[in-house]
Amino acid sequence: MRPFRKFWLTAGVLIAMLAFWGLIRLVFPALDYYPPEQLLARLERSGFVTAGLRDVIVAIYAGCALVFMTVLFTIFQARWPGRGVVKGFVFGSFLSVIWAIAFLMGWGFLGMSLQAALKNGIVDWVGLAAAGSAIGLVAGTNTKGTAAAISWPAVSLVGLVFLVVYFIGASLFAGVFPSSTDLLRLPSRSIQFLLLLALGLWCGLMFAVLRESLPFANRWARAAFFAFGVFGHSWAWFHLFFVIEFAGVLPLVLTTGLIGAVSAFAGVVGGELALTARRGGG
């Protein structure tokens, strides 16, 4: 397919998928996102909300999410064995599960009902997985090869290191944002620790699947690309949604995004070191 035609076809798919994703919540208002009462009680609504621009900004936000996903996917998908549409579906699902776990943290940290957390996670999984499949269909390639073997001990190590580093990072910034440790995702109860561990394990699984396909031969550069690009952008972008809903939270949500990305980097580096030790060096 010619590059010019491929560009416009991809753009058309993104617009169609954005419309599909938005229509789910528009046609079924019960599936729309509503901030937890705990946040509504203590935070001021943003200028976007008071000016009646929330829906417009949300559409731009969702469109940017799809563009970021497309750009990242096209960077490495040609080296990823498999059919384009399947790879797109898997990648969209990878990112959507990060958001699903983040919604479950809304239940675990912010008092959102479990039903609402699951509902929002499923809606965004449908949107991102469908968009990923469509992007894989038009922009992906069918690549021959064998899927990378998954080292479950390495995945577990990534999850554990992620949890420890995240806890340390959130604890350090708790003094800067003393009234918002819930938005920092600083755990204090068992379910909160378990949710962060689940996020770390998911990070480890994503890296295990994508590792051989990622750019950069240098393992540290590869780990940084994954942690700050693939995983970190999705974690941070999810939390930037709070800026649409509430005023004065940008420094807080950027910090939360950074802590997640740094924790992912630390976890992935730990996983890389474990794989190197297992293979006897290199």
Tens digit of each residue's pLDDT (9 = 90 or more) over 265-277: 999 999 988 877 7
pLDDT, tens digit, 9 for 90 and up, residues 87-110: 999 999 999 999 999 999 999 999
pLDDT in tens, 24-57: 776 677 777 888 888 998 899 999 999 999 989 9
Q: What gap in Å lies between CA 235 and CA 241, rounded to an integer?
A: 11
User: Mean pLDDT lowest for which of 20-24, 146-150, 172-176, 203-207?
Assistant: 20-24
Q: How far apart are CA 22 and CA 259, in angstroms?
A: 30
* Start-to-end C-alpha separation, the chain: 39
Give the pLDDT score at 84.
93
pLDDT band at 279; cut points 50, 70, 90: low
Asked if residue 156 has pLDDT above 60, the reply is yes
C-alpha 29, offset from chain centre: 24
pLDDT of res. 33? 80
Is the pLDDT at 13 greater than 70, yes or no?
yes
The pLDDT assigned to 17 comes to 78
Question: Mean pLDDT lowest for which of 4-18, 131-145, 196-210?
Answer: 4-18
Percent of the chain's residues with pLDDT above 90: 67
pLDDT at 4 over 60: no
Q: What is the pTM of this model?
A: 0.92
Residues 264/225, Cβ–Cβ less than 8 Å: no
Alpha-carbon distance values, 245 to 26, 80, 153, 192, 233 (Å): 18, 37, 40, 23, 19
**HSE on the CB side for 131, CA within 13 Å?**
33
Alpha-carbon distance of 173 to 175, in angstroms, equals 5
Q: How confident is the model at residue 1 (pLDDT cuts 50, 70, 90)?
A: low
> What pLDDT sits at residue 100?
97
Are the C-beta atoms of residues 170 and 181 closer than 8 Å to each other? yes
